[in-house]
Amino acid sequence: MHSHRNGLKTAALLGLLTALILGVGYWFGGSAGLVIAVGISLVMNAVTYFFSDKLALRSMGAQPVSEAQFPALYQMVRELSTAANQPMPRLYVSPTMQPNAFATGRNPANAAVCVTQGITQILDQRELRGVIGHELSHVYNRDILISSVAAGLAGIITALAQLMWFIPLGGGSNDDDGPNPAVLLAMLILGPIAATVIQLAISRSREYQADASGAELTRDPMALASALRKIHMGTQRLPLPADRQLTSTAHLMIDNPFRGGGLAAIFSTHPPMEERVRRLEQLAGNNGPIQYLR
């Protein structure tokens, strides 16, 4: 099943990031710079992890909404939360006209779900329910934690590469002349790029997982597939400005809020929409129950 493969892929990619850290750190030869890089990266990502909900909501100008304002939204979120035996998240609406949605919060007890004004205008109730199932699944699958770990590991690699320009290296071999300059240069340039590519691959894997988990939660994969088609058309028609604050939270959205194509797909936080829809259609055609990884 796709869910099982996505879980294994995520674990393998996290392992690859860890191996990359060990490979880069090897050239430090026990330098204090390694400890400094790890410490700085961990502190920065810990702050991002604990305040991810506030940062994401602020970047989208989201406002809390009451049940009196959005009764249908509250009803479907409450229904799906109850079905998953999870607490009710806080609900927000962003005034953005681009159709999109995201969930954030480090655990179900501190979760927030946000939909944009645009998505409420183009989706019917069944499609919106599919989107809510996807977003709640991100919370239940601890994707904020997974993405924070991936960002932390990638940040360590980037910090190590930057420190290599300033800190004398002890060399990672018995060669007294130190590391090969060509290898060192390649590591300085390619290390951070490789870390970023792996981190983004983890993000794409978690989107596939949330699609599958959300389809299991709602028992309606075709509703999410239909919603994704409409959302993607809307995000391409109304791309958000790629400012720094929005870029840092783009991976949380159900669809990439920026317009991109060609080589940009390699550095995308989201998998191709066509493939997401194809997998959901395949799930809808299965006779057995959809597997759901908690």
Q: 245-283, pLDDT tens digit by residue?
A: 677 788 899 999 987 655 566 678 899 999 999 999 999
- Ligand-binding annotation for 232, yes or no, is no
Q: Is 79 a catalytic residue?
A: no
- Short-list 216, 224, 201, CA closest to 273: 224
- pLDDT grade for 172, boundaries at 50, 70 and 90: very low
Q: To which H or E segment does residue 208 belong? A: helix 181-218
- Is 207 known as a binding-site position? yes
Query: What letters, b where the CB count within 10 A reaches 16 and e where it falls short, cover 24-44?
Result: bbebbeebebbeebbeebeee
Residue 75 pLDDT grade (very low, low, confident, very high; cuts 50, 70, 90): very high
Q: Is 4 annotated as a binding residue?
A: no
How confident is residue 155, by pLDDT bands cut at 50, 70 and 90? confident
Among candidate residues 67, 79, 127, 135, the one labeled active-site is 135
